[in-house]
Amino acid sequence: GDGIPLNQVDSLSDDFTSLKKDGPILKPRNNALIGGTKNCSVSAGGSKAAAMSSKGTVPNKLQISPAMAQKINDDIKYELMKEVRKFGRNFARIFTLFEEVQGPLSVKKNFVEFTIKEAAR
């Protein structure tokens, strides 16, 4: 996965036991580190460090080219069509597919309109 290799995580946990006053400060709300070492958090026991992505610094989604986004959206449109045509529609699946649509709000709006029209057929 992303982040720090496991062998480095173990060495980091040893470093946390010898922190000084001017070292990283723990936020009480989510145990995230402020300053010092980034992308690490201390578990409730304080003995292990786990790699995590900090909000705002690491994008949650990979950059997707327009061609890839179009392919993803075509696949989603096909899945939406299949799901809407099924007897006893699974609305949770339909909404999950809506969340996966790539592009601006207007593209997402078009998918909702397409699905409504497909369901009305």
Interval 92-109: pLDDT, tens: 999 999 999 999 999 999
Looking at every residue in the chain, the average pLDDT score rounds to 68
If one counts the domains in the chain, the total is: 2
pLDDT digits (tens, 9 = 90+) for 22-39: 444 444 444 444 444 444
Which run of H or E residues covers position 41? Answer: strand 40-42
Q: Is residue 30 part of a domain?
A: yes
Residue 1 located in a structural domain: no
Q: Do residues 21 and 36 touch, judged by C-beta distance below 8 A?
A: no
Beta pairing partners, 50: 41
* Residue 40 burial (10 A CB sphere; 0-12, 13-18, 19+): buried
Distance separating alpha carbons of residues 43 and 28, to the nearest angstrom: 12
Residue with tokens 């989604």: 61
Measured CA to CA, the distance from residue 51 to residue 119 in angstroms comes to: 44
Asked if residues 14 and 30 have their Cβ atoms less than 8 Å apart, the reply is no
**Whole-number Å distance between alpha carbons of 28 and 121:** 54
Residues 42, 81, single domain; the answer is no
Does a structural domain hold residue 106? yes
The pTM assigned to this predicted structure is 0.46
13 has pLDDT over 80:
no
- Domain presence at residue 19: yes
Residue 120 and residue 115: Cα distance in Å, rounded?
9
Q: State the pLDDT at residue 89.
A: 76
Residue 57 domain-assigned?
A: no
59 falls within a domain: no
Q: Are residue 107 and residue 70 in the same domain, yes or no? A: yes
Please count the residues of the chain.
121
**Is 72 within the bounds of a domain?**
yes
Question: Does residue 56 lie in a domain region?
Answer: no
* pLDDT range class, residue 64, cuts 50, 70, 90: confident
Give me the percent of the chain exceeding a pLDDT of 90.
34
Q: Which domain holds residue 22?
A: 6-51
- 73 and 40 within one domain: no
Same domain, 47 and 74: no
